[in-house]
Structure 1
Amino acid sequence: MLSAKDLGVLDSFSVSGYHVQDWITDLKSKFEIMNRKEEEQKLKTMETKLYKLLSDDKKVELELDEIAELLR
């Protein structure tokens, strides 16, 4: 099976008025965004689980640090 590259039409082929390379770039970007969102959700879930494991004193300390940072 030959690819568009092999046939020499990759540079001239368009879909719905957009160059095929633009479609490829857009799809790769969309895929990266989806992966980042998925990874971000996993990290937020882990952060929530870890926060539940903290002692009350440590939670208060972190909240105070966050407030102090906002006041700077």
Structure 2
Amino acid sequence: MTWDPAVLRKHNTTSHFRLLSQLRGELRDNPLVRPKEGERIGEVNRSKSLVRAVENKIASMARSRRSGGPEPRR
């Protein structure tokens, strides 16, 4: 049994426009910032929550190494 092409087209089109709408909303809430001279794009556009999450991850990895925790995966 195969899918009806009309159903597939409708589903793919709907999903595509939902993703575009979601992306548009995210960009509206958190617009991209152009880097100034000497800055990298990633540094400028990182959200505060992402920066905190990365810092917390690094800190927890350092604590586990000091306490003799499990070896990190390679």
Q: Which structure features the higher share of strand residues?
A: 1
The bucket for the TM-score relative to the shorter chain is 0.3 to 0.5
TM-score (norm 2): 0.42
TM-score (norm 1): 0.43
